[in-house]
Structure 1
Amino acid sequence: MQNRITQLFSIKYPLIQAGMVWNSGWRLASTVSNSGGLGLIGAGSMYPEVLREHIQKCKKATNKPFGVNVPMLYPEIEKIMDIIIEEGVKIVFTSAGNPKTWTPFLKEKGIKVVHVVSSVKFALKAQEAGVDAVVAEGFEAGGHNGREETTTFTLIPMVKEKITIPLIAAGGIANGRGMLAAMVLGADGVQIGSRFVASEESSAHIKFKHKVVETEDGGTRLTLKELAPVRLIKNKFFNQVQELYTQNPSVSQLKNLLGRGRAKKGMFEGDLDDGELEIGQISGLIHEIKPAAVIVEEIIAEYEKVKKSL
């Protein structure tokens, strides 16, 4: 299954495991890389030295390519980038910020750079900044999201029409059929997050994993757009946010309700009532916690089977 993405990253399958906060540690990343995809460590929920530890453990667990996802709003991003250089990481996915800020620095160090976007406008800016590829993420995706609410099905062909660099589709993809659909729309590869949350190697709390499996169609919603749009499972905290919206709240009131550490409380510590439970709409299609290697195998097998049957 060789194409521009497999060649860019020297991987077997054009399948990237998203670097999700509180979910994507070295165990998950190394397992996906060993299975033929590209595993990503999610730096957004790690102190610099914790990230260093995860990178070092990942290097010991796999001799395959892997990368690090870095949200550029991270408060200690200079330290994070220094560690990435020091540890010899060769692939970096950036998000939540201007790609011009770090792309030239990383490229000078021989690192392949991919930027996550939610619109054609930002895809063009990323290409102009010199990134090697873009991840175009639709409104269906879990976690932090674009304000435009453009769905993956419409975003991918629109971005494809405008850029020349490799394109990775994300948002609402959890199986081989979804992967094939994204490729038909013009993607060179896919980035999958939610499906890997419910994997044995995910660093998420087991209670959160089971909650993802239980979540059905309509069980998530995008909210908190005034701060940073985030897709959440509907729980006690989500209901408190919706109740506050009936009062036409200020940004400061929303920040006060959100507080600090909500995502860690929900996804990493397993507080299903008061924590942020970030997951994509595709959670309604996730019915079982499985080993990450099995997830990759099943996605690729279904992709090939459906492609052959068409």
Structure 2
Amino acid sequence: MNRVTAILGTKYPIIQGAMQYVANGKLAAAVSEAGGLGVVAAGGISSEQLITEINIVRKLTQKQFAVNLNLQYKNVPELVKTVIEQGIKIITTGAGTPKYYMDDLKKAGIKVIPVVPNLKIAQKMEKLGVDAVIAEGMEAGAHIGQNSSLVLWPQIVQNLSIPVIAAGGIATRAGVKAAFDLGCEGVQSGTVFSVCSESLVSDQWREAIYQNNNEPATLALGMPAIRVLNTARAQEITQKNLSQAELMNNLNQGFMTAFKDKNVENGVIFAGEDVNLIHQKQSAQQIINELAQGLEK
């Protein structure tokens, strides 16, 4: 058995990315039901909201799913407590180190899989006792590292003994094959699932992805860099001399304009460079079927 599927308890070693506000219970359930690992993003929500999303997943599927903890939020200790009390078996983490919570998480029998942007952090995570790492190249959406996937994946594979899951620019079967050819044992995809039929993004949001094929795919703003779709609002932000805090505030406001108000051109859409590989709406099942071709052989 593939080491990642053994850890995940899924049919395929495919994880859905933890896109804040987009990765809700409905999307996670659809991905898990299709044979991958659905992920509920806990970043920016309360413990009560997280419980609501967990209950939605459990109503829609009996299969394994995970919760992502964005470690930059102040309520992470409360969310960790909630994850343990709710009997969640797998978490992914980002935007910080899970070391402060490892004892409690491991005592609860929870598998911990952090997202890492470079070899140094990956090695620290292995020493910490995590179960696997998600090596995310700079082709990914939202917060990105400085290493490209084709360099990052094999570098981490060659220097770790735990399983490495590839992320950053994977939207097709060819991307999955490349990741496995470079030694990875699983993949994580975000942008392609963000526009699947079960996602709650608007049709305007989806069209912005589909129609982006002849435009510069994405812009990387700030330091650390944040990758977004090349909308008019994103271009306007790049022309301002903003501090990192001001940049994040502008990006968050723009995100809500695109996400809640469905005003895409005047908003901000976090997306990976693989937008140019995504051409039409598919269900989570159709996406999983494409990504998983050949994985059972």
Residues 218-247 of structure 1 show CA distances to partners (whole Å, capped at 9, x for unaligned) of 22121121xx421011112211222114xx
The answer to whether the aligner puts 1:242 opposite 2:218 as a matched pair is no
Please, which moves more after superposition, 170-179 or 36-45? 36-45
Alignment-mate amino acid for residue 75 of structure 1: K
1:270 offset after TM fit, Å? 2.0
Distance 1:166 1:255, change over 3 A: closer
Partner of 1:269: 261
Once residues 74 and 264 of structure 2 are traced to their aligned partners in structure 1, the CA distance between those partners, rounded to angstroms, is 27
Please, which moves more after superposition, 66-75 or 95-104? 95-104
The answer to whether the aligner puts 1:298 opposite 2:290 as a matched pair is yes
1:268 offset after TM fit, Å? 4.1
Once residues 264 and 7 of structure 1 are traced to their aligned partners in structure 2, the CA distance between those partners, rounded to angstroms, is 37
What are the within-5 Å matches in structure 2 for residues 4-19 of structure 1? 4-19=3-18
The answer to whether the aligner puts 1:168 opposite 2:165 as a matched pair is yes
What are the within-5 Å matches in structure 2 for residues 1-310 of structure 1? 2-146=1-145, 148=146, 150-216=147-213, 218-225=216-223, 228-245=224-241, 249-251=242-244, 254=247, 258=250, 260-301=252-293, 303=294
Once residues 229 and 86 of structure 1 are traced to their aligned partners in structure 2, the CA distance between those partners, rounded to angstroms, is 35
On the 8 A contact 1:264/1:275 being kept in 2, the answer is yes
1:22 offset after TM fit, Å? 2.2
1:29 offset after TM fit, Å? 0.8
Alignment-mate amino acid for residue 271 of structure 1: N
Give TM-score scaled by structure 1 length: 0.90
Alignment-mate amino acid for residue 206 of structure 1: D
SS at match of 2:180: helix
Once residues 44 and 102 of structure 1 are traced to their aligned partners in structure 2, the CA distance between those partners, rounded to angstroms, is 16
Once residues 59 and 247 of structure 2 are traced to their aligned partners in structure 1, the CA distance between those partners, rounded to angstroms, is 43
Structure 1 residue ranges without an equivalent (≥5): none
On the 8 A contact 2:93/2:112 being kept in 1, the answer is yes
SS at match of 2:99: coil
Alignment-mate amino acid for residue 106 of structure 1: L
Once residues 161 and 108 of structure 1 are traced to their aligned partners in structure 2, the CA distance between those partners, rounded to angstroms, is 30
Once residues 291 and 251 of structure 1 are traced to their aligned partners in structure 2, the CA distance between those partners, rounded to angstroms, is 36
Runs of 4+ in 1 over 3 A off after TM superposition: 249-256, 259-262
SS at match of 2:292: helix
Distance 1:259 1:40, change over 3 A: closer
Once residues 39 and 145 of structure 1 are traced to their aligned partners in structure 2, the CA distance between those partners, rounded to angstroms, is 21
1:259 offset after TM fit, Å? 6.9
1:275 offset after TM fit, Å? 2.4
Once residues 180 and 219 of structure 1 are traced to their aligned partners in structure 2, the CA distance between those partners, rounded to angstroms, is 22
Distance 1:36 1:47, change over 3 A: same
Question: Sequence identity, in percent?
Answer: 34
Please, which moves more after superposition, 291-300 or 118-127? 291-300
Once residues 202 and 95 of structure 1 are traced to their aligned partners in structure 2, the CA distance between those partners, rounded to angstroms, is 21
Q: How many equivalent residue pairs?
A: 296
Residues 154-175 of structure 1 show CA distances to partners (whole Å, capped at 9, x for unaligned) of 1000001111111100001111
Distance 1:77 1:240, change over 3 A: same
Once residues 36 and 255 of structure 1 are traced to their aligned partners in structure 2, the CA distance between those partners, rounded to angstroms, is 35
Alignment-mate amino acid for residue 289 of structure 2: E
